[in-house]
Copies of this chain bind each other. A is one copy, B any other.
């Protein structure tokens, strides 16, 4: 455990005042070149790293950003986290992460706890209610991810467009009766996907069977599969990949062939969709870019607090693999 080297140590060894050291490091143009170099050399030599806490105390900026997600085991959120991490590093910011275990109450508390230690927080919370989000936006600088709300900056993914691509694809294959397996009704994502789907469907001659809600997990898919088959649909659009995998497993157990007997699509493009058999047709969500974008929006907002509120939308992309085909 090496003892901490402070700005004072550097100052002494470089024969200057602490102010000069500080300036040499943070506003180089304020000190003469020769002095600056001497200071920097000493600093490097001693392995000096400024104490961010002390700096933050006076500047009011911590150089940290926070992100709270509902579940770190969900690849969707870790993708986002990866993007956040990455972009934050580029801007030499550190990242606080908190996992709420899908508990909206915890989410609110976590954001508040973070608020003191970060310049702003990125909130991935499909569940928490609008009123509370607004209060949080008051308490700290907030950026929402994959959720739109008036007056709050947001990094969005255009799932409507993804759903349109799905429908166009299925219709082109000749499907006329399609089931949608809803995820949680209250989730912003589900609303968006459902909305996109309905709009897309209206442009074609297609029956949409709106089913659920189901838990957005493997088990939800197992349960939904039989219900969907009973509706005599020729294609099933699942709320997300994990559910689709559940559907796939249940259909296989029942001897229903995919895509020969029924087509199936997922949403999110989690890695294992590509690895399973047959590989899953799905919509790729730009999660990592979205994480990046969220950081940009946050930093942007911090830089000039009274610019217009940006809500940027990233495009999604249909990935056609092997679970979709013309109906029998």
Identify the A interface with B (CB < 8 A): 1-2, 4, 49-54, 56-57, 62, 64, 72-73, 75, 78-79, 81-82, 85-86, 89, 94-99, 101, 112-117, 138-141, 218, 245, 249, 252, 271-272, 275-277, 305
Contacts and interface: CB of A to CB of B under 8 A. Distances in A.
A75 B62 CA distance: 30
Given A94-B114, A275-B272, A72 B62 contact: no
A285 to B, nearest CB: 14
Contacts of A85: 72, 97-99
Nearest to A305: B1
A47 to B, nearest CB: 9
Copies of the chain in the assembly: 2
B81 A49 contact: no
A271 B245 CA distance: 12
A116 B51 contact: yes
Nearest to A273: B272
Contacts of A138: 1-2
A229 to B, nearest CB: 19
Contacts of A52: 116-117
B117 A99 contact: no
Contacts of A271: 73, 272
22 contacts: A1-B138, A1-B141, A1-B305, A2-B139, A4-B116, A49-B116, A51-B57, A53-B53, A53-B117, A57-B57, A64-B96, A72-B85, A73-B75, A73-B79, A73-B271, A75-B75, A75-B78, A94-B98, A271-B272, A272-B276, A276-B277, A277-B277
A305 to B, nearest CB: 8
A85 B113 CA distance: 14
A177 B98 CA distance: 47
Contact of A249 (B79, B101, B275): B275
Given A2-B139, A72-B85, A275-B245, A97 B99 contact: no
Given A78-B78, A89-B98, A272-B276, 11 more contacts: A4-B116, A52-B116, A53-B53, A53-B54, A72-B81, A73-B75, A81-B97, A81-B99, A97-B97, A218-B275, A245-B275
Contact of A49 (B112, B276, B277): B112
A101 to B, nearest CB: 8
A108 to B, nearest CB: 13
A219 B75 CA distance: 20
Given A57-B57, A117-B53, A252-B277, A78 B86 contact: no
- The 10 closest A-B CB pairs, nearest first, are A272-B272, A53-B53, A72-B82, A85-B99, A97-B97, A78-B78, A53-B56, A245-B275, A72-B78, A277-B277
Nearest to A72: B82
Nearest to A77: B78
A210 B218 CA distance: 36
Nearest to A277: B277
Contacts of A95: 96-98
